[in-house]
């Protein structure tokens, strides 16, 4: 009896790989990684405020500890993956792996300290890979790229027309802001960012009092209309992602209901068979 109980308990014990798999997909693991990345970003920013050797040495120890954690994290992810190639087929996993591998390279191997620091800074980018909400925003931007490119082309056409007109109307101004097509394009970009654009307009109005029409129309078309098209496209992509998430959630819920219904029917069938056996025994 004791032997059978031991075998039963032994079979119910989770293997190390099963436990690591559960831990790898747990919220604790994800939150810990997020916390470590944020902690490391704070360390990098604080290092710029200190020159004391002791403090820098402490920061160096913390940096090594973070490197060890990131390495262990990647090892766990690779270990629990059934097919190792599937791990590298995921772009985010490949992104994490490359950053961690660069982090393991000793800083002394780089002649330039700036390059070594840059590789360390890249670790903070891992916050993108571990945050699902940021991933969704990037997915929305990726999906919006075709529409954004069309809007950029439209904006360039407007810039082109206004740059030619600006050179013809205001090419003789002393400031030289409209001397040629290239400078006119830069001036229009300055106006679009609202950087002292009124000074540019008032200078043109000294020559022609109706010049304000040129500047106001340019701002309305670009800043108020075309810029809002960028926002509309991105919001639309985010809405599509949310709709897909809701659809997947509903599909998963329906699947769970089917599984539960099937299990209930099997239980009912088992109960009927037990009742038949009881009647036969009686």
Output the pLDDT for position 2.
43
- 101-129 pLDDT, tens digit each: 777 776 555 554 455 556 666 667 777 76
Residues 154, 247 within the same domain: yes
Residues 50, 148 within the same domain: no
pLDDT band at 242 (very low <50, low <70, confident <90, very high): confident
178 is in which domain, residue-wise?
A: 135-270
pTM of the model: 0.58
Q: Give the phi and the psi of residue 179 in degrees, each rounded to 5.
A: -60, -40
The least confident of 5-9, 48-52, 160-164, 216-220 is 5-9
DSSP conformational letter for 209: G
Of the three residues 99, 115, 130, the one that is the final residue of a domain is: 130
Residues 126, 140 within the same domain: no
What's the mean pLDDT in 210-232?
92
Residues 165, 54 within the same domain: no
Is the Cα torsion angle 33, 34, 38, 39 positive or negative in sign? negative
Output the pLDDT for position 9.
45
Q: What is the 3-state secondary structure (H, E, C) of the chain?
A: CHHHHHHHHHHHCCCHHHHHHHHHCCHHHHHHHHHHHHHHHHHHHHHCCCCCHHHHHHHHHHHHHHHHHHHHHHHHHHHHCCCHHHHHHCHHHHHHHHHHHHHCCCHHHCCCHHHHHHHHHHHHHHHHHHCHHHHHHHHHHHHHHHHHHHHHHHHHHHHHHHHHHHHHHHCCCCCCCCCCHHHHHHHHHHHHCCCCHHHHHHHHHCCCHHHHHHHHHHHHHHHHHHHHHHHHHHHHHHHHHHHHHHHHHHHHHHHHHHHHHHHHHHHHHHHHHHHHHHHHHC
CATH of the domain at 78: 1.20.120.350
Number of domains in the chain: 2
Residues 6+ apart with CB under 8 A from 122: 99, 102
Output the pLDDT for position 42.
84
The least confident of 8-22, 160-174, 248-262 is 8-22
Residues 122, 153 within the same domain: no
What's the mean pLDDT in 53-73?
84
């Amino acid at each position: 009896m004791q032997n059978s109980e031991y075998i039963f308990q032994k079979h119910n014990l989770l293997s190390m790989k099963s436990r690591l798999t559960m831990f790898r997909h747990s919220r604790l693991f994800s939150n810990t990684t997020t916390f470590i990345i944020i902690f490391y970003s704070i360390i990098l920013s604080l290092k710029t405020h200190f020159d004391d050797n002791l403090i820098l040495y402490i920061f160096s120890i913390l940096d090594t500890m973070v490197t060890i954690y990131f390495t262990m994290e990647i090892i766990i992810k690779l270990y629990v993956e059934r097919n190792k190639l599937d791990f590298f087929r995921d772009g985010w996993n490949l992104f994490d792996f490359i950053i961690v591998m660069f982090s393991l390279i000793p800083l002394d191997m780089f002649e330039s300290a700036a390059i070594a620091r840059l590789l360390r800074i890249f670790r903070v980018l891992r916050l993108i890979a571990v945050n699902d909400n940021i991933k969704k925003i990037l997915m929305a931007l990726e999906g919006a790229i075709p529409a954004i490119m069309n809007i950029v082309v439209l904006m360039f056409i407007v810039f082109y027309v206004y740059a030619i007109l600006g050179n013809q109307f205001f090419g003789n101004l002393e400031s030289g802001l409209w001397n040629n097509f290239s400078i006119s394009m830069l001036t229009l970009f300055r106006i679009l960012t609202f950087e002292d654009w009124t000074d540019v307009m008032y200078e043109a109005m000294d020559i022609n009092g109706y010049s304000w029409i040129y500047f106001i129309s340019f701002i309305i078309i670009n800043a108020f209309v075309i810029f809002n098209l960028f926002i509309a496209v991105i919001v639309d992509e985010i809405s599509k992602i949310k709709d897909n998430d809701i659809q997947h959630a509903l599909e998963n819920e329906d699947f769970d209901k089917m599984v539960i219904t099937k299990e209930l029917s099997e239980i009912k069938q088992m109960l009927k068979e037990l009742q038949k056996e009881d009647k036969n025994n009686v």
